[in-house]
C-alpha cells in the first residue's frame, strides 16, 4: 500500500482547520495536528482548538493531549507523531498533518537537526536575564548573535528565543547555522499545501478572530490560568497580554490590541518561514477545495 502525508499549512486564521477536515473526509483519513499551541488541554479559546462539531467529523490526534504542567518538546512530538502515522497508514492511504508551527511540521517532514550540548550555567544566566530585564533583552541579544533566525522565530516565545541563544553562546556560532534542513527519508510520500491571502485580508481575519475569542470568554480562561503564568506553554500570544493586564500593567483594551498586533506579527513570521520551502504549493484561501483535491491526487502515489 502506498502512503501519502498531506501537509496543510499557512498563517494563523487562514482556514487550515476547515480545509483539513474537508480533505480528510474526501480521502477517508485522519488528522494529525502540528499546532504546538493546541497540545494543551487547559488552553482552549486562545488556541483556536477545533470545536466539538469539527472534532466529531474527523478523528484528530495531538489535540489537547497534554497538560501545561508537562514538558513536551518538538523532539517528543517527532517521535510520537511518526509512531501515530505508522499506525494510521496501516489502514489508510492518506493522512493529514495540519498546523502553523513550522518547526513541528519540519520535524515530521524533514527531521530535526543535531545541536551541541548546552552548559546549564548558560541556561540559568539567560533565565535570570529574562526574569530581571524581560524578553526584550533576549530578543536584542538574539538579533546581534543570529539576525537570520531572529527574523524567523516567534520573538515572544521565550523558550525558543532562549534555546537559540543557548546554542549561539555555547558554540560561538549562529543558531541558524545548525539548521541544515537536511531532509531525512520518510516511508511516505509528502505533499505540501500552503494556504494564504493578501496581507490585509490575513490581518482582518486575525482581528476578527481575536474579537470572537474575547466574546467567547478568553479573558476568563486566562484569568483561571493566572497561577500557572510562569509555565512555558502559557508564554504565548493571547495569554501573556492578558496576564499583563491582570498584573495591572495596562487596561484590557490595550491588552486586546496587543494580542491583535502580536498575532499579526506572528503571521508574518509564519509566512517568512514557509515561503522558504520550495516544496509547498500555494493556494488562495478562497480557491475551491476541488482544485486542491485535484492537485493532491496528481501528486499521490
> What confidence score (pLDDT) does residue 181 get?
59
CATH superfamily for domain 4-113+181-299: P-loop containing nucleotide triphosphate hydrolases (3.40.50.300)
| 114-138 residues labelled b (16+ CB within 10 A) or e (exposed) | eeeebeeebbeebeebbeeeebeeb
Residues of the chain with pLDDT under 70: 180-182
Distance between CA atoms of 83 and 31, rounded to whole angstroms? 14
Query: What backbone torsions phi and psi does residue 211 show, to the nearest 5 degrees?
Result: -60, -40
Indicate the burial class of 224 (C-beta count within 10 angstroms; 0-12, 13-18, 19 or more).
exposed
| CATH class of the domain whose range is 120-178 | mainly alpha
Alpha-helical regions (H) of 172-286: 199-215, 218-224, 240-246, 252-274
> What confidence score (pLDDT) does residue 283 get?
98
> What confidence score (pLDDT) does residue 180 get?
63
Coil, helix or strand at residue 7: strand
Question: Which strands make up the sheet holding 94-98, listed edge to edge?
Answer: 60-61, 31-33, 94-98, 4-9, 189-196, 280-284
> What confidence score (pLDDT) does residue 119 get?
83
Break the chain into its structural domains and give their ranges. 4-113+181-299, 120-178
User: In terms of Cα–Cα distance, which of 160, 159, 167, 153 is closest to 114?
Assistant: 167
Amino acid at each position: 500500500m502506498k502512503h501519502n502525508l498531506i501537509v496543510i499549512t499557512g498563517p494563523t486564521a487562514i482556514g487550515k482547520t476547515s480545509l483539513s477536515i474537508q480533505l480528510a473526509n474526501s480521502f477517508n483519513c485522519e488528522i494529525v495536528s502540528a499546532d504546538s499551541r493546541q497540545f494543551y488541554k487547559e488552553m482552549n479559546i486562545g488556541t483556536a482548538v477545533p470545536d466539538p462539531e469539527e472534532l466529531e467529523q474527523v478523528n484528530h490526534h495531538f489535540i489537547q493531549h497534554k497538560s501545561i504542567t508537562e514538558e513536551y518538546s518538538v523532539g517528543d512530538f517527532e517521535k510520537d507523531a511518526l509512531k501515530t502515522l505508522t499506525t494510521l497508514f496501516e489502514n489508510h492511504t492518506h493522512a493529514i498533518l495540519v498546523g502553523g508551527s513550522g518547526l513541528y511540521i519540519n520535524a515530521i517532514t524533514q527531521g530535526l537537526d543535531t545541536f551541541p550540548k548546552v552548559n546549564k550555567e548558560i541556561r540559568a544566566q539567560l533565565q535570570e536575564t529574562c526574569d530581571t530585564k524581560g524578553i526584550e533583552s533576549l530578543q536584542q541579544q538574539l538579533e546581534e548573535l543570529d539576525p537570520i533566525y531572529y527574523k524567523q522565530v516567534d520573538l515572544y516565545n521565550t523558550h525558543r528565543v532562549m534555546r537559540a541563544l543557548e546554542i549561539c553562546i555555547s558554540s560561538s556560532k549562529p543558531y541558524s547555522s545548525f539548521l541544515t534542513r537536511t531532509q531525512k527519508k520518510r516511508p511516505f510520500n509528502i505533499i505540501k499545501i500552503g494556504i494564504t491571502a493578501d496581507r490585509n485580508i490575513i490581518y482582518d481575519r486575525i482581528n476578527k478572530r481575536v474579537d470572537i475569542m474575547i466574546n467567547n470568554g478568553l479573558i476568563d480562561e486566562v484569568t483561571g490560568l493566572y497561577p500557572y503564568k510562569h509555565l512555558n506553554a502559557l508564554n504565548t500570544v493571547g495569554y501573556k497580554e492578558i496576564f499583563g493586564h491582570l498584573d495591572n500593567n495596562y487596561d484590557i483594551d490595550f491588552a486586546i490590541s496587543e494580542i491583535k498586533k502580536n498575532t499579526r506579527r506572528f503571521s508574518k513570521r509564519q509566512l517568512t518561514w514557509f515561503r522558504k520551502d520550495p516544496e509547498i504549493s500555494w493556494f488562495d484561501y478562497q480557491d475551491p477545495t476541488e482544485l486542491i483535491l485535484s492537485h493532491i491526487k496528481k501528486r499521490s502515489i
